[in-house]
């Protein structure tokens, strides 16, 4: 899957501050939803995390946690959501962010909501 991330905390003016990357598409297990991300928002926490949190052991860090998308798969323990639900949320800072095509989100996340119909 396509994503935007970084490998080291650099000034935003550096050409490698954020880079396009390819990552394996995550698989929903347990209480996780696999969300196909449709839209994201950028807020100050994204800036602060990128500036202050280095990725683990040379891995890529994907930021962005405010998102809306469609649930396309669920783990075996999910009880509150089904594929096809459109959800919005602010994700968990300890997991990969929403600046990607797909994101895993725990159904127990306190701010995870089904989007009202437009």
- Tens-place pLDDT, residues 77-117: 999 999 999 999 998 999 999 999 999 999 999 888 888 76
8 Å CB contact between 12 and 4: no
**CATH code at 109?**
3.90.180.10
- CB atoms under 10 Å from CB of 111, counted, come to 9
2 forms beta bridges with 22
**Domain coverage including residue 105:** 2-114
In this prediction, residue 117 carries a pLDDT of 64
What is the mean predicted confidence (pLDDT) over 37-58?
A: 91
Number of domains in the chain: 1
Distance separating alpha carbons of residues 98 and 9, to the nearest angstrom = 18
């Amino acid at each position: 899957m396509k994503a935007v991330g970084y490998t080291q905390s650099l000034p935003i003016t550096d050409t490698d501050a954020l880079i396009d990357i390819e990552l394996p598409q995550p698989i929903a297990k347990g209480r996780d939803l696999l969300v196909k991300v449709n839209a994201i928002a950028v807020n100050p926490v994204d800036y602060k995390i990128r500036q202050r949190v280095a990725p683990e052991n040379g891995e890529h860090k994907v930021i962005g946690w405010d998102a809306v998308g469609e649930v396309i798969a669920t783990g075996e323990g999910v009880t509150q959501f089904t594929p096809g639900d459109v959800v919005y949320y602010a994700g968990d800072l300890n997991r990969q962010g929403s600046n990607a095509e797909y994101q895993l989100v725990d159904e127990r996340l306190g701010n995870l909501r089904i989007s009202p119909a437009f």
